[in-house]
């Protein structure tokens, strides 16, 4: 079976950033050597985000564009994106706003040792973006909790599912500066999902 990463990308009012963001997704996923798909979930943007997303989906067969006719929020956007995904691994952004794109390969390589990785990228002004990668079979166990990182962590701890928690500090000095990861905090739980 071919391994594939599904990038779940909820967005709202990012018409000027979306083309660059999708380019960053493709670039970041090439390091894994895996097939990649990007599921854009447009949460009823009031700018031209829907048009840009549809144009990207027409141009790239790896991109799917889903748009809501009313605002549904981050959790519903993530859950809808997961429904349309076809990958073995889910890489999820828990934000409708995006600064840049961290390397997917960092998360994918960590998946050899666990079933999920949850990360928090903290910026210079103490804002943060949460991202995660899950093996898709966990979805059957986690269900809708997958749309909220804190509920995922609680659930995985209760069920002794192996996961890592990472924290990254990132200084944003310019639009072009890549992420620099530092001071990771790791938590590893030793039992696998088969104990559920």
CA Rg, the chain, in Å? Answer: 16
Structure confidence by residue, pLDDT tens digits, 47-79 = 999 999 999 999 999 999 999 888 888 889 999
Question: What structural domains does the chain harbor?
Answer: 4-195 (3.90.550.10)
b/e map of 139-168 (b: 16 or more CB within 10 Å)?
A: beebeebbbbbeebbebbeebebbbbbbbb
Phi, psi of 60 (to 5 degrees): -120, 120
Evaluate if pTM is beyond 0.95.
no
Instruction: Please tell me the predicted confidence (pLDDT) of residue 59.
Output: 95
Structure confidence by residue, pLDDT tens digits, 100-129 = 556 688 888 888 889 999 887 776 666 677
b/e map of 23-58 (b: 16 or more CB within 10 Å)?
A: ebbeebbeebebebbbbbbbbbbeeebbebbbebbe
Average pLDDT over residues 148-164: 88
At 169, is the pLDDT very low, low, confident or very high (cuts 50, 70, 90)?
low
């Amino acid at each position: 079976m071919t391994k594939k990463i599904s990038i779940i990308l909820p967005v709202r009012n990012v018409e000027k950033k979306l083309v660059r963001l999708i380019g960053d997704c493709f670039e970041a996923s090439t390091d894994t050597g895996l097939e990649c798909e990007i599921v854009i979930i447009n949460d009823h943007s009031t700018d031209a985000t829907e048009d840009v997303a549809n144009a990207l989906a027409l141009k790239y067969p790896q991109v799917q564009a889903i748009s809501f006719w009313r605002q549904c929020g981050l959790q519903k956007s993530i859950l809808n994106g997961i429904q349309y995904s076809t990958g073995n691994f889910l890489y999820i952004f828990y934000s409708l706003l995006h600064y840049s794109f961290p390397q997917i390969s960092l998360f994918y390589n960590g998946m050899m040792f666990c079933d999920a990785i949850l990360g928090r990228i903290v910026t210079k002004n103490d804002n943060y973006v949460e991202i995660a990668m899950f093996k898709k079979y966990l979805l059957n166990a986690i269900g809708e909790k997958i749309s909220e990182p804190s509920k995922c962590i609680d659930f995985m701890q209760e069920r002794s599912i192996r996961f890592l928690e990472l924290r990254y500090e990132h200084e944003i000095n310019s639009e072009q500066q890549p992420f620099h990861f530092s001071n990771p905090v790791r938590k590893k739980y030793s039992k696998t999902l088969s104990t559920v």
